[in-house]
Chains A and B, each alone.
Chain A
């Protein structure tokens, strides 16, 4: 019996780890969408984290913990650089800038032999286990749940509903958006490093536009009225194509279809209830 469970675990280990990592990536999206912003650079931030994390463990030979830390700091800095000129403006500027960022970074990875270029970066030690991934996921989720029940959660929802009204209420809207984007990039980077350290191989193709849309679709499917939404969205969208193997080739189509259907029929996502904003 135990052996059977063990077999099952090993054959689905990658899926199990993938579910946790994708949930972290979905929460990274939540940090932006909860403020009414749209980022299409989550895959790019994830890539920065993955490459920086891999460099730290493989090339520098430093401990995994330091790799995780570096994988959060590096994309956070990139996010700050992108955010300063774009976040003062409202609307789609952030989305456009982050698409551009993703493409620029992808071309840089492709042409940097130090990290393997187009062939990808291999031989990354498998340091990420279920405990690390799910421990971090729960930590992040709980932190979001607590924070969103405070004055900060109210300010976020106010910004999402009406930026001007939030401003005259004393909310520093630009600062909130900036912190949201930086936090989001750090979490995406963390997800990237965790992913790199269980799959042991990363390549530029993983961090393109298609993956950015996939991460967005987690948040859209689950909804962002509560932090549980993106997590559930990530679980469903990661598990379904894996369980319906024949769909695998059509994964992109599937994600696109889900975004369209959810926007039409469930504009608030699957988990349409909202967290109370009173602590």
Chain B
């Protein structure tokens, strides 16, 4: 097994509040690894630290053997970390196709003068990017909407677009922040099969999700956060029975009752 992403004691304080406090975990290559925990557990802060939008106050982050703790976000995109956002953040005024092409930034390398003088190399790169963007849109099932203004898409399609845009960077690690939030059951099923498909292609996925059925159905490993700390980690079947996890979600009383009844 190869570790793709490793967090060692990373922490982030906002004033006196430690949103994430000494968190350590490792994501194996090719796995779907989920981070779960109650609201306010620090999941989104953790994602922001991994994608580089905020930097950790303490601890280290390594990606593919390289230390990235203080690396700027755009460079992380260049080395293969891509993400979606909990509250969808597509570029509303751009077309669906342009959104995906923006996601290709790390792979579009033609210099300014080549673009300005419309040299063949620049035109070819643009043509290929367009074809690749279309292919990605087809893959997530919204290929027929390529020319639509992104803001006009239905909610579920906006989520798909965000995933296509994140995939456009050809990431090694895909961070998905609550991708199933607000989706109806049909859309969720579609998303699940898309993620399985991506994992089949060798992509490593780090997932934050509230839908437990969804998480249990796809994850190879889980890390459970509560109040900014890791309270459990391991395979889904172990986490499901972990008293600390049940306590975090349902409270100590319910956990004790379930334990007394032999449920866990």
Interface locus among A1-9, A16-24, A161-169, A197-205? A161-169
Shortest distance from the beta carbon of B122 to any chain A beta carbon, whole Å: 7
In the complex, the answer to whether A167 meets B74 with C-beta atoms within 8 Å is yes
Interface locus among B104-112, B178-186, B254-262? B104-112
A164 contacts which chain B residues (CB < 8 A)? Answer: 53, 73, 89
In the complex, the answer to whether A169 meets B122 with C-beta atoms within 8 Å is no
Shortest distance from the beta carbon of B149 to any chain A beta carbon, whole Å: 10
**Count of residues in B whose CB is under 8 Å from the partner chain:** 40
Whole-angstrom distance between the alpha carbons of A225 and B93 in the complex?
10
In the complex, the answer to whether B83 meets A168 with C-beta atoms within 8 Å is yes
Interface residues of A in 208-245 (CB under 8 A from B): 225
**Count of residues in A whose CB is under 8 Å from the partner chain:** 28
In the complex, the answer to whether B105 meets A278 with C-beta atoms within 8 Å is no
A166 contacts which chain B residues (CB < 8 A)? Answer: 102
What's the dominant secondary structure at chain A's contact region?
A: helix
**Is A143 interfacial (CB 8 A cutoff)?**
yes
In the complex, the answer to whether A143 meets B126 with C-beta atoms within 8 Å is no
**Is B103 interfacial (CB 8 A cutoff)?**
yes
B122 contacts which chain A residues (CB < 8 A)? Answer: 150, 279
**Is A190 interfacial (CB 8 A cutoff)?**
no
In the complex, the answer to whether B126 meets A150 with C-beta atoms within 8 Å is yes
Q: Which of A170, A171, A172, A278 contacts B98 (CB 8 A)?
A: A278
User: Which of B82, B103, B105 has the most chain A CB atoms inside 10 A of its CB?
Assistant: B105
In the complex, the answer to whether B53 meets A278 with C-beta atoms within 8 Å is no
Query: In chain B, what residue has the closest Cβ to A143?
Result: B116
Contact with A along B153-191 (1 / 0, CB 8 A): 000000000000100010000000000000000000000
B105 contacts which chain A residues (CB < 8 A)? Answer: 151, 154-155, 169-171
In the complex, the answer to whether A172 meets B89 with C-beta atoms within 8 Å is no
Given contacts A154-B94, A154-B102, whether A168 and B51 have CB atoms under 8 Å apart is yes
Given contacts A154-B98, A155-B102, A170-B74, whether A165 and B91 have CB atoms under 8 Å apart is yes
Whole-angstrom distance between the alpha carbons of A155 and B52 in the complex?
18
**Is A59 interfacial (CB 8 A cutoff)?**
no
**Is B77 interfacial (CB 8 A cutoff)?**
yes
Whole-angstrom distance between the alpha carbons of A158 and B72 in the complex?
17
A162 contacts which chain B residues (CB < 8 A)? Answer: 89, 91
Query: In chain A, what residue has the closest Cβ to B169?
Result: A170
Shortest distance from the beta carbon of B23 to any chain A beta carbon, whole Å: 20
B90 contacts which chain A residues (CB < 8 A)? Answer: 165
In the complex, the answer to whether B82 meets A168 with C-beta atoms within 8 Å is yes
Question: Can you report 26 residue pairs joining A to B where beta carbons are below 8 Å apart?
Answer: A147-B116, A151-B101, A151-B105, A151-B115, A152-B112, A152-B115, A154-B94, A154-B102, A157-B98, A158-B91, A161-B92, A161-B94, A162-B91, A164-B53, A164-B73, A165-B91, A167-B73, A168-B73, A169-B74, A170-B106, A172-B72, A277-B98, A278-B97, A278-B130, A279-B118, A279-B122
**Given A161-B91, A165-B90, A276-B95, 19 other A-B residues pairs in contact with their CB atoms under 8 A:** A143-B116, A151-B102, A152-B112, A157-B94, A157-B98, A158-B102, A164-B53, A165-B89, A167-B77, A169-B165, A171-B74, A172-B74, A173-B74, A276-B98, A277-B94, A278-B101, A278-B126, A278-B130, A279-B123
CB within 8 Å of A: which residues of B? 51-53, 72-74, 76-78, 82-83, 85, 89-95, 97-98, 101-106, 108, 110, 112, 115-116, 118, 122-123, 126, 129-130, 165, 169
